[in-house]
Amino acid sequence: MNKVLGIILGGGAGTRLYPLTKLRAKPAVPLAGKYRLIDIPISNCINSEILKIYVLTQFNSASLNRHVSRAYNFSGFSDGFVEVLAAQQTKENPDWFQGTADAVRQYIWLFDEWDIDEYIILSGDHLYRMDYSKFVEHHRKTNADITISVVPIDEKRAEAFGLMKIDDSGRITDFSEKPKGDALKQMAVDTSILGLNPEEAKEKPYIASMGIYVFKKEVLRKLLTENPDQTDFGKEVIPFAAKDHNIQAYLFKGYWEDIGTIEAFYDANLSLTNQPQPSFSFYDEKAPIYTRSRYLPPTKLLDSQVTQSIIGEGCIIKECRINHCVLGVRTRIETNCVVEDTLIMGADLYEPYSVRQAKLKDGGVPIGIGANSIVRRAIVDKNARIGQNVQIINKDRVEEANREDEGFLIRNGIVVVIKNASIADNTII
């Protein structure tokens, strides 16, 4: 694997994940109480012994830079690295990144300097555990120019993905990017050729791209330099290359979730609390998910009832009821609160007792959730200040609302409290 260079695409502005991407790049969005989305592809690379990794980003990259530099420092241990490359304007490229392929094209001069045989191109907003060495081995064994990792999916989800057809040898013969209506139905195939049983094949008749690719080094360079007007891998570069390149499909059989929307992100986080078997497990000793070490104290629970929940380090939870929740690092919940079906991302700092008391005395709101509050079916971003006797329950069952000036939005019926927002005492949402 030392002949493979990892390239992780940070994605666009993350509008579908807004407001979680208001102040951070999409790969820097917190996940599962202590991680960030970027930790997933980086950890998969490290566990697959791919140790030369670039992360390409364009929007709000400060917190992503900070996280990567603190979490992934290989100096003194190997020649591996994880480096963030932000979009930049040059005489040759006066524009920002125009798409996934254009992002790689603008830095191809840097990637060319490495003595490698393949590039593995990954997305920064998926939740899955994958051994990329098997993916690369399949690519080499089939002598492919390009290999795409694919999953079988049902009709309901199919129109959100790039779909493809393959022949008996696994070679991809047809592409369609996010088709709808009749175009979607034309992309249905017998997925039993991927090894699914007849029942599974009937349930999932579409083959979807995971947006994860392995390219031969010279093939990628040729495609990007000879077709400068092509800016996206899934829509342009790969369909264009299909007619005269060997493009293979690699079936991924494990759990995989594209968490690019608020609803998908919320569901993926809360599904981690499932028992006996969560859809994705962070408890795999052979393939751990790495992140930044924070050296926080253990969580303190004072006379509280907690059921089916995940709680990060350094939390303080007093005399309250927590059910089906994910609580991030340094979360603070005061007495007599009820929190259910909620993702709380935690805080970047502790407020000293004296500061909290002074805020309360002056009518301010300390970081965390104040006494006697109820929070249900919500995402509470970092450093949010929720006052006393607050009810975040989506009382009117609103599906969509933009109340950013009041500190929250509603997406798919999920109330999202914005990072650093302050919700005053006695507020009812």
Please enumerate in sequence order all residues whose Cβ is within 8 A of that of 4, keeping only pairs 6 or more positions apart, or say none. Answer: 50, 52, 116, 117, 118, 119, 120, 132, 136, 214
**CA–CA distance, 54 with 51 (Å, rounded to integer):** 10
Please answer whether residues 416 and 342 qualify as being in contact, where contact means their C-beta atoms are separated by less than 8 angstroms: no
Do 323 and 273 meet the contact criterion of CB atoms below 8 Å apart? no
User: Which residue do the tokens 């927590």 mark?
Assistant: 322
Please state whether beta strands 368-369 and 385-386 pair in parallel, antiparallel, or not at all (unpaired): parallel
Q: Which residues define the annotated binding site for alpha-D-glucose 1-phosphate?
A: 162, 177-178, 209
**Paired strand residues for 268:** none
β-pair partners for 175: 164
What φ, ψ does residue 220 adopt, rounded to 5°?
-60, -45
Phi, psi for residue 380 in degrees, rounded to 5: -110, 110
Q: Which residues make up each annotated binding site? A: 162, 177-178, 209
Angle at the Cα of 262 from the Cα atoms of 130 and 176, rounded to 5 degrees: 60
Residue with token string 């329950």: 393
**Size (the chain), residues:** 429
Measured distance CA(304)–CA(310) in Å, rounded: 14
Q: Where in 220-366 does DSSP place strands (E)? A: 247-251, 256-258, 300-302, 305-307, 310-311, 316-318, 321-327, 332-333, 338-344
3-state secondary structure of 185: helix
Contact 230, 237 (CB under 8 A): yes
